[in-house]
Amino acid sequence: MKISGHLYIQWTDEFLNWNPEEYGGLDSLELPQNDIWRPDVALHNSFRTITGLGSSNLLLTVDSNG
């Protein structure tokens, strides 16, 4: 059996915030997920293995409010 799905995760990182007025109105940007901290997320299946989610080439959107 193979299952595919989509997982949307959102969190606030108080260390990733800025004033858009100080950066030419820039209110969001996209960064490679391996360049910033992100919560650990893993699926635990019945075979007793843990599979990490994501890929090193995924981009995360960071808003100016963290």
3-state per-residue secondary structure call for 6-59? CCCCCCCCCCCCCCHHHHCCCCEEEEEHHHCCCCCCEEECCCCCEEECCCCCCE
CA 4, CA 48: separation in Å to the nearest integer? 19
The pLDDT value given to residue 39 = 81
Domain-by-domain residue ranges, the chain? 26-63
pLDDT one-digit tens code per residue, 8-44: 888 999 899 999 999 999 999 999 888 888 887 776 6
Q: What number of other Cβ atoms are within 10 A of residue 23's Cβ? A: 11
The pLDDT value given to residue 2 = 73
CA 48, CA 36: separation in Å to the nearest integer? 29
